[in-house]
């Protein structure tokens, strides 16, 4: 009874305060909309010194647990219970030392729903909660939400780290076409097709076997992609993009692949694997055909391995579960199609060029390309850790040297192991050398500050030059007392005025009464650079960013370590937050339920989103429309 009177006295005493105190601000968003499901995310921003309670407390005459309710209709069903982030546990003597679970600073809750129709509708929900501090508790409050559920309002999209599954598929398909032109695969094409057409009793049977063979190739490579995905998981795949050790490992792998293509050595699988697969292929039937395809995969590994490895690395670092599988599907489809087509039309075999030294030349060209791509991963390490050894000029200089050597090779002025001794310049080689040297000439102005839009995203940012110096302000702890300075000491793209600290940017936005554009970016984000180089360079976009918005660029892969007192464990991912990049990544995940970059969110001064956030958007006109819509909504609220 004393406990009841104590709580009632607190509630009555503080009732007048509850009319003016609002320590908790709620926000509801809908994410991950598909044809049959969606995710509703509720996030609470809690003032310092206050807290709200978990859903999972059950203390008689104790605090009110947070609870959610949903008004049912014919358009959806709840899929499971409402989940919540990690709470803080505290033993409370006033309740016989029972454990209380609560949230301070922020809280997040997720409710999945199953969609029963394709209709657009409003989902009505409410949250009931009690906010308490060390000295008082406010009466329980209920906040209602009317959430628009539409197939067009999902905050996530088909872009992974700025690269869509479609582009990953196309990249894989191109890789498969290149693999066809290697000396390990190309000679197998007429031999394999001839085998099916001669060994089969009828033409239809030969075509059928060749199709089974092609499907088997696709299955083998897609399973490999899925194995990579399932063994690492989506979180690990996303972390690869900014992990220094992994990027350094990728750099070494690409260099090894390049040296292998140059002819220094061959990457091969154990011979016992090949022998076992070859024996199984002689059994006949569908299983035998499958093992013939598996044998091709093993035999050609010295040529396809570097291409597959490069493909899987590029797909994996984009952080999506489907990425590696989609890339391998594109690769295997390009590899398998010719076997089926030539089996159906064997006369086409006569039009194929004969095997020869040109196949080795294809490998050498791929080696130079691998070497150039390797520098991107080394640059990621340099940028994320602010080491400063691979500035933009040096990166471009290395590309100039690499592609100049490639041009000399295509002209026949450079010979490597396994090349023909009487190597001469072919017409094809001459044409490609002209293209290569033209590209080299295009790169040269980049040494002196030219934007190089054709390769934007690969070199370091335009401001990361020999004159760039990381100031100590970038390393200061975040969420400190807001300053009134208009610009951080770190240079921003196109010399824009921007902040790299959310609180500083918010304080300045309040001072000048302008909306905020939150730019979630990364040092290793290719499409972030493309947006800065190709879209932000548009005069109208530059004008809007400079004069109508306060730009806050938050680097989610910045490796600058937080102070010990600022490190914490994320309530969303349960990961340790130890660096500035970790902090901003968790900030993005908590508030926007996505971890892809680039990601642009327009907000007002209270943190409310002004319109649907955008990911990678190469169309400058659509981006301008997005910015202007935000300004219009800011003025109306």
The residue behind tokens 């509720």 is: 42
β-strand 599-603 against 516-521: which pairing, if any?
antiparallel
Tokens, residue 1 = 């009874």
Sign of CA dihedral 575, 608, 119, 77: positive
* Nearest to 578, CA basis, from 568, 586, 587: 568
What's the CA angle centered on 303, arms 301 and 305, to 5 degrees?
50
């709580």: which residue's tokens? 7
CA distance 528 to 548: 21
Question: Rounded distance, CA 7 to CA 1, Å?
Answer: 10
**Bridge partner residues of 113 (DSSP):** 38, 78
Beta pairing class for 159-160 and 163-164:
antiparallel
Q: Which of 182, 7, 195 is nearest to 92 (CA)?
A: 7
Helical segments of 181-243, H only: 188-199, 203-240
Residue 490 corresponds to which tokens in the numbers above? Answer: 């770190």
Name the token pair of 111.
């409710």
Residues 358 and 429: their CA atoms lie apart, in Å, by 10
| Nearest residue to 302 (alpha-carbon basis) of 259, 361, 251 | 259
Helices (H), 241-356: 244-262, 271-281, 285-299, 301-316, 322-344
Give residue for tokens 């600022």. 566
pLDDT recorded at residue 239: 53
pLDDT at residue 348, as a whole number: 63
Q: For 353-370, b where at least 16 C-beta lie within 10 A, e where not — what string?
A: eeeeebbbbbbbbbbbbb
- DSSP letter, residue 535: I
Is residue 98 classed exposed, middle or buried when 0-12, 13-18 and 19+ CB atoms within 10 A define those classes?
Answer: middle
Q: Which fold has domain 472-636?
A: Glutaredoxin (3.40.30)
Residue boundaries of the structural domains of the chain: 2-149, 164-352, 472-636
Q: Which residue has the tokens 């396809």?
A: 304
Beta bridge partners of 146: 124
200-to-193, 204, 208, 216, 285 alpha-carbon distances in Å: 11, 8, 9, 18, 11
- Asked whether 443 and 452 are in contact (CB, 8 A), the reply is yes
Task: Return the sign of the alpha-carbon dihedral for residues 269, 273, 275, 278.
Answer: negative
First vs last Cα of the chain: how many Å apart? 48
The span from the CA of 281 to the CA of 291, in Å, is 5
CA distance 377 to 253: 10
Closest CA to 527 of 477, 456, 619, 590: 456
Q: Which CATH class, in words, describes the domain spanning 2-149?
A: mainly beta
Task: Give the closest residue to 30 by CA, choosing from 120, 121, 147, 122.
Answer: 147
- The SS3 assignment for 599 reads strand
- CA–CA separation, 557 vs 521, rounded Å? 8
Position 76 scores a pLDDT of 87
- For residue 458, the model assigns a pLDDT of 79
Strand partners, 103: 52
Residue 394, pLDDT score: 92
153 by DSSP, 3-state: which? coil
pTM greater than 0.75: no
pLDDT of residue 155: 39
Please, what are the averages of pLDDT over each run of 10 residues along the chain (637 residues)?
Answer: 43 40 82 78 87 83 84 86 84 74 87 83 87 76 81 41 62 78 62 60 72 81 68 50 70 82 67 52 60 63 58 54 73 80 67 61 81 85 79 92 93 80 75 93 90 81 66 33 37 84 90 94 79 89 92 87 86 78 85 79 90 87 93 86
* 70 CB neighbour count, 10 Å cutoff: 18
* CA distances from residue 123 to 26, 39, 137 in whole angstroms, order as listed: 16, 12, 30
Pairing of strands 550-555, 498-499: parallel
Q: Which two tokens stand for residue 601?
A: 């969110």
User: Do residues 263 and 416 lie in contact, with contact meaning Cβ atoms separated by under 8 Å?
Assistant: yes
β pairing state of 576-577 and 568-569:
antiparallel
Contact indicator for 390, 374 with CB cutoff of 8 Å: no
Q: What is the CA radius of gyration of the chain?
A: 29
Tally Cβ neighbours within 10 Å of residue 572. 18
Helix (H, G, I), strand (E, B) or coil at 425: coil
Q: Which of 495, 470, 479 is nearest to 559 (CA)?
A: 470
The confidence score (pLDDT) of residue 443 equals 94
Give the separation between CA 474 and CA 488, rounded to whole angstroms.
8
Residue 537 CB partners (closer than 8 Å, separation 6+): 451, 453, 494
Nearest-angstrom CA–CA distance, 296 and 293: 5
């Amino acid at each position: 009874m004393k406990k009841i009177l104590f709580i009632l006295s607190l509630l009555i005493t503080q009732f007048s305060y509850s009319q003016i105190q609002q320590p908790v601000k709620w926000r509801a968003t809908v994410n991950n909309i598909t044809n049959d499901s969606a995710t509703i995310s509720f996030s609470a921003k809690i003032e310092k010194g206050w807290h709200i309670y978990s859903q999972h407390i059950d203390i008689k005459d104790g605090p009110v647990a947070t609870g959610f309710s949903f008004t049912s209709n014919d358009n959806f069903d709840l899929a499971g219970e409402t989940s919540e982030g990690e709470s803080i546990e505290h033993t409370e003597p006033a309740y016989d030392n029972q454990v209380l679970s609560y949230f301070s600073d922020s809280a997040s809750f997720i409710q999945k729903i199953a969609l029963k129709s394709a209709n657009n509708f409003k989902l009505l929900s409410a949250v009931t909660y009690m906010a308490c501090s060390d000295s008082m508790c406010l009466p329980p409050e209920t906040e209602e939400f009317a959430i628009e559920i539409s197939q067009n309002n999902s905050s996530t999209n088909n872009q992974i780290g700025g690269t869509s599954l479609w582009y990953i598929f196309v990249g894989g398909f191109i890789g498969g076409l290149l693999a066809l032109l290697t000396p390990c695969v190309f000679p197998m094409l007429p031999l394999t097709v001839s085998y099916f057409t001669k060994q089969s009793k009828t033409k239809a049977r030969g075509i059928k076997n060749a199709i089974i063979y092609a499907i088997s190739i696709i299955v083998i490579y897609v399973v490999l992609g899925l194995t990579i995905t399932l063994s690492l998981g989506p979180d690990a795949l996303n972390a690869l993009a900014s992990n220094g050790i992994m990027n350094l490992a990728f750099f070494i792998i690409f260099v090894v692949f390049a040296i292998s293509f140059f002819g220094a050595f061959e990457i091969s699988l154990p011979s016992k694997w090949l022998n076992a697969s070859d024996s199984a292929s002689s059994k006949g039937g569908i299983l035998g055909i499958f093992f013939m395809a598996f044998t091709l995969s093993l035999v050609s590994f010295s040529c396809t391995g570097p291409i597959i490895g490069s493909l899987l690395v590029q797909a994996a670092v984009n952080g999506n579960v489907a990425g590696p599988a989609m890339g391998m599907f594109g690769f295997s489809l390009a590899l398998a199609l010719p076997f089926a087509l030539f089996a159906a039309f064997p006369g086409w075999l006569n039009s194929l060029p004969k095997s020869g030294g040109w196949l080795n030349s294809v490998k050498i060209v791929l080696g130079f390309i691998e070497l150039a791509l390797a520098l991107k991963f080394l640059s990621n390490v340099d940028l994320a850790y602010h080491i400063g050894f691979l500035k933009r000029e040096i990166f471009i200089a290395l590309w100039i040297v690499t592609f100049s050597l490639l041009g000399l090779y295509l002209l026949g002025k450079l010979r490597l192991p396994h090349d023909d001794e009487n190597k001469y310049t072919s017409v094809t080689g001459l044409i490609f050398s002209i293209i290569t040297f033209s590209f080299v000439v295009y790169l040269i102005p980049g040494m002196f500050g030219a934007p190089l839009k054709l390769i934007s995203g690969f070199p370091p940012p335009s401001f990361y030059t020999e004159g760039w110096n990381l100031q100590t302000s970038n390393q200061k702890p975040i969420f400190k007392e807001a300053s009134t300075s208009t610009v951080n000491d770190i240079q921003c793209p196109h010399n824009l005025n921007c902040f790299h600290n959310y609180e500083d940017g918010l304080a300045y936005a309040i001072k000048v009464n302008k909306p905020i554009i939150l730019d979630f970016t990364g040092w290793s984000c290719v499409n972030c650079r493309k947006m800065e180089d190709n879209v932000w360079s548009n005069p109208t976009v530059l004008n809007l960013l400079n004069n109508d918005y306060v730009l806050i660029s938050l680097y989610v892969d910045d490796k600058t370590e937080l102070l010990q007192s600022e490190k914490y464990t994320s309530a969303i991912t349960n990961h340790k937050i130890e660096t500035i990049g970790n902090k901003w990544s968790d900030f993005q995940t908590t508030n926007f339920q996505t971890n892809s970059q680039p990601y642009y969110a327009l907000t007002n001064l209270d943190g409310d989103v002004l319109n649907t956030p955008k990911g990678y958007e190469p169309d400058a006109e659509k981006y301008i429309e997005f910015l202007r819509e935000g300004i219009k909504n800011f003025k109306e609220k």
